[in-house]
Amino acid sequence: MTQIRADRVKLLEIDSLRGQHAEDRAHDERMRALELADAREQRAAAHRAEAHARLRACCIAFNTAARHYQTAQISVLHGLRAGVGVNECVEALEEARTAFRASYAEAQMLLPDPVLAAASEVSRRLNDDYGALKRSLTDAPRNPAPPECEQRVQSAWTVLTDLRRTMRRDLRIDDPAP
């Protein structure tokens, strides 16, 4: 009888140990699953932060290139009006145009649709103004840039301002949320 009771106690102890081991394994699996989920979330957060940084850099580069392109166009207008330094201004304009085109090509690949629409509008506007300036340059010896060309080039700042606002909104720079 004592032996039977000892065997039962031993079986109960073994069952208890098995149950404890099963609970330990289940706990370990839950912890591993949580660690994997946490690691996935950290990777996703790092990916989002990297994508946001890339987008921010693209916006900065495009905004800067567009403003330099616009400034170079205005410099050509000033050169035409003054009748001096036009060649240097035209060279600077061509460099700014090349830099702008490269920046726009990158922007086309990275910017979300609402920002890309504003960037496309800026590109069209600056390129139209560039064409008007080039036509004015062929007439420059006889006739400086017509006033409507000057007014058009000067008014492109509003399109650039709209672009900047759209970019800031998309980057949530003006967002009051923490």
The string of pLDDT tens digits covering residues 66-105 is 999 999 999 988 888 887 788 899 999 999 999 999 999 9
CA–CA separation, 163 and 118 (whole Å): 5
Q: Is the CB of residue 69 less than 8 Å from the CB of residue 126?
A: yes
Tokens 């409507």 map to which residue? 148
- Distances in whole angstroms, Cα of residue 145 to Cα of each of 71, 135, 138, 160, 166: 16, 9, 10, 22, 32
Q: Is the CB of residue 111 less than 8 Å from the CB of residue 58?
A: yes
Between residues 50 and 133, the one the model is more confident about: 50
Q: Which pLDDT band holds residue 175 (cuts at 50, 70, 90)?
A: low
The string of pLDDT tens digits covering residues 47-68 is 999 999 999 999 999 999 999 9
111 secondary structure, DSSP code: S
Quick check: pTM over 0.85?
no
Tokens 């062929």 map to which residue? 138
Give me the mean pLDDT over the 122-150 stretch. Answer: 79
Q: How far is CA 58 from the centre of its chain?
A: 5
pLDDT for res 149: 75
Give me the mean pLDDT over the 25-42 stretch. Answer: 95
pLDDT for res 22: 93
Structure tokens at 145: 């840039």
CA–CA separation, 154 and 160 (whole Å): 11
pLDDT for res 114: 93
Q: Which pLDDT band holds residue 113 (cuts at 50, 70, 90)?
A: very high
Query: Is the pLDDT reported for residue 177 higher than 60?
Result: no
Q: Which pLDDT band holds residue 41 (cuts at 50, 70, 90)?
A: very high
